[in-house]
Structure formats: C-alpha cells, structure tokens
Amino acid sequence: MAATSAASSISIGSTVPRPTSASLRQSRAQFVNLNYSLPTFTALRSSSLLSGPDSSSFTTSLRTSVTKSQKTDTKPYGLNINASYKVAVLGAAGGIGQPLSLLIKMSPLVSTLHLYDIANVKGVAADLSHCNTPSQVRDFTGPAELADCLKDVNVVVIPAGVPRKPGMTRDDLFNINAGIVKSLVEAVADNCPNAFIHIISNPVNSTVPIAAEVLRKKGVYDPKKLFGVTTLDVVRANTFVAQKKNLKLIDVDVPVIGGHAGITILPLLSKTKPSVSFTDEEIEKLTVRIQNAGTEVVDAKAGAGSATLSMAYAAARFVESSLRALDGDGDVYECSFVDSTLTDLPFFASRIKLGRNGVEAVIESDLQGLTEYEQKALEALKPELKASIEKGVAFANKPAN
C-alpha cells in the first residue's frame, strides 16, 4: 500500500527545527510538577507532596495547561476557567477506560467529558462527576447513543476492546478488536470527522490502518488527525533507562520508532537525552525489555489483566499534549504511529510535532545517524510491521457478509 498523497502535505525533516530541550522535557514529562503546586481543583496543592525531579511526570503537562488559565481573580477552583474542549472516551468502562477517564477529568482544558461503552458506564460517569474539576461528565450506553456521544467532540480516544491475556499476542486480539474499532471509527466519521482520533485498541499496527481505510471510504480521512497511541513505549523506555543509569527521570527522553508490538518497537537508545553510553549487552537487554514490557505486566497479573494503568497514564499524556496543541501551544512533541513518508511503509511511529490541525511535522532527524544495531533492527522490523498494516487494510476492505 502506497503512502497517500495527503501525507505529502505534512512537513518533513529539515524544514522543522529539532525540538528544544525545554519542549521535549515538557512533552515527555507530562503531568508532573517541578517545585510547583497545582490549584485547588486538582486536590494536589501541597508542593511538598509533588516537588522534586522524581515526581510522577503526569502533572507537568497539567501545570502547563493550568498556568495558562490561572488568574489572580477569585473564581471557583481558583481559576479563570478557559476549558473549552470536548473529549470522548469510547470504552470508558474498561480496564484502561476508567483510569484514563479519571486522568482526563483532571485537565483544565476539558469542558465536557463524554464516556461511552456498551454497558456499565453510568456508574463510572456518576463516580467521576463527583470530582471537583471543571469538566462536565456525561454517559452514553450502546450504539443507539453513540452519535450523541460524538457530537461536536474535539478529541476521540478509543481504548475499547478485549485485553491481552497470558499467552496472547496482539495479533490474537485482532479478530475481535478490529471489528470494534471499525464500527466506532465509522461513527466518528459520521459525527465528528474533524476530531483528533487516538487509537489505543490493539493491535495498533493494524487498527490504525483500519481506521484510516474507514475514514477514507467515508471521504473524511485527514492523516494529520489520526494517531496510534505509542506513548507507553516512550514512557517505558524513559523509565527503564533512568533506572538502569541512575538518572533523574524527568530529564530522560528516548525516542521510540517503528510500531507498537514486539520487535516493531524500536527504542533509539543512541539518541537518549541526556547523552549516555551503553554497552552492547545493555542495549540488547534494554531493547528486549522495552519490546516485551507488555508481556511482563500480563504475566505478572497472571490472568487478571494487562497493562491498563500504565497505558491509561500514557494515553492521558498524549491527550493532554493534543489539547495543548489545539489550544495553541506551539512547542508540543510526542511519538505516535501515524500516516508517514519517513520510510517505505505507509504508517510508522516516530516523533511528531503537534499543532492545531494535528501533525504539523514528522521529525526526520531521529532516523538519521542510527547505530549499526539500530539500523539492522529497523530493517528487521519492517516486514512484520508491513504485514500488520496490510492485515488491517485487508480487513477494512473485506466485503460485508
């Protein structure tokens, strides 16, 4: 499958400045504070609880969003609320959907949070509605209410589907989750075609191409607004490298390229910031651990679930980055699996710059100057990633029974 002509409108490489250290720090260290206390509505006011470089990185992005809206005049929650974005979570009652919805509820940029699922979502919405944050929560149950859920939404997040179980690969999930994503994206195309679409449902290497084909058939495909959420790979890479090298986690940034399953996940350890050296053995072990980190959690939970909490955290980070971009922040960078011309594959995960219209640029420089190990790994992942993409495209174009 050739890359679409629409992708050529996305700026590539040298036309875009390399992300500044400050912007990378801000984007990767989402939702953590640095000697900062959040306003009352987050219920996280104590700087003594949050300050310091080892704090959770979730709050830095909230800090960025909150600071923009914070005023001296006294209003509810201590803010001049400028929340103006509607976010819909499709699959909100699931293992990822519930913690993800809670984290999105914390954002000062969200005015309305729509929660959709086929069952059990009313209780989730009622629970979240008690949190004293600005956004209003509404629940929607079943296909009959899906259109109302999606009306005028700015960001749609799709974690719907079945979770991985011990012994399962992401491809084992395909037959169930592919159909779920297809039907949900059809509804998105009909009701909010201009929204940012965040695909979490695995296998992302296939579900993103499915979504693209659905949108293309509906005549509303904008490659700049469709994202496979691979942020968890970056979060894991940053965490594991910081632990291995005894670095301050807030300072660590490891770009992760390729796809979102097994060997298609390629952390570029040679491009770690701050610059750090690795032995060949360390590179091999870290790479394999990052690639298999999902299985590590599945096995540890022993049949009780998959990586739901860390995935929710990473997805919330990407949502907040998208909201900041929509709100006019011109310095937002993340890694994501997107329609791309960086390689000969039609979709590829790499660092991107986000703007009001979605992907403003794909950062080509991350693929330049790779080590021999990384270059070989890049070539090795391409056949598997290509097959996954083609599998998704074939599913989307399969004649209806």
Active centre residues (catalytic):
260
56 vs 41: CA distance, rounded Å: 18
DSSP 253: B
Q: Tell me if the bond preceding 274 is cis, omega within 30° of 0.
A: yes
Q: Which distant-in-sequence residues (6+ apart) come within 8 Å of 129 by Cβ?
A: 136, 137
Q: Tell me if the bond preceding 203 is cis, omega within 30° of 0.
A: yes
CB 142 within 8 A of CB 118: yes
CB 60 within 8 A of CB 32: yes
Tell me, what amino acid is at 306? S
346 vs 379: CA distance, rounded Å: 15
CB 359 within 8 A of CB 224: yes
Q: What is the distance of C-alpha 147 from the center of its chain?
A: 23
Sheet strands (E) in 218-367: 226-228, 256-258, 265-267, 332-339, 347-355, 358-362
Six-digit token pair at 115? 């929660």
